[in-house]
Structure 1
Amino acid sequence: MTSETTTASVSTHILDTSIGRPAEGVAVGLSVRTGAEGAWFARGASKTDADGRCKDFPALPEGTTHVRLEFETEAYFLSDQHNAANQQAEEQQDAPRVRDSGAFFPEVAITFAVKPGEHYHVPLLLNPFGYSVYRGS
Structure 2
Amino acid sequence: MPHLTTHVLDAAQGAPAPGIRLSLTAVDGTAIADGVTDDDGRAGLGPDVLDPGDYTLRFETRAHFEARGIDAFYPFVTVTFTVSDDRHCHVPILLSPFAYSTYRGS
TM-score, length basis structure 1: 0.70
Match of 1:106 among 52, 62, 75: 75
- Counterparts in 2 of 1:1-137, with a 5 A limit? 9-33=3-27, 39-62=28-51, 64-79=52-67, 83=68, 101-137=70-106
TM-score, length basis structure 2: 0.90
**Rg comparison, structure with higher value:** 1
Specify whether residues 56 and 31 from structure 1 end up closer, same or farther in structure 2 by C-alpha distance, changes over 3 A only: closer
Shift of 1:26: 0.1
State percent identity of aligned pairs.
41
Structure 1 stretches (4+) deviating beyond 3 angstroms?
59-62
Q: What runs of 5+ residues in structure 2 fail to find an aligned partner?
A: none
Q: What runs of 5+ residues in structure 1 fail to find an aligned partner?
A: 1-7, 34-38, 84-99
Q: Deviations over 1:82-134 (max 9, x none)?
A: x2xxxxxxxxxxxxxxxx83210000000001123111101100000100000
Q: Which has a greater percent of helix?
A: 1
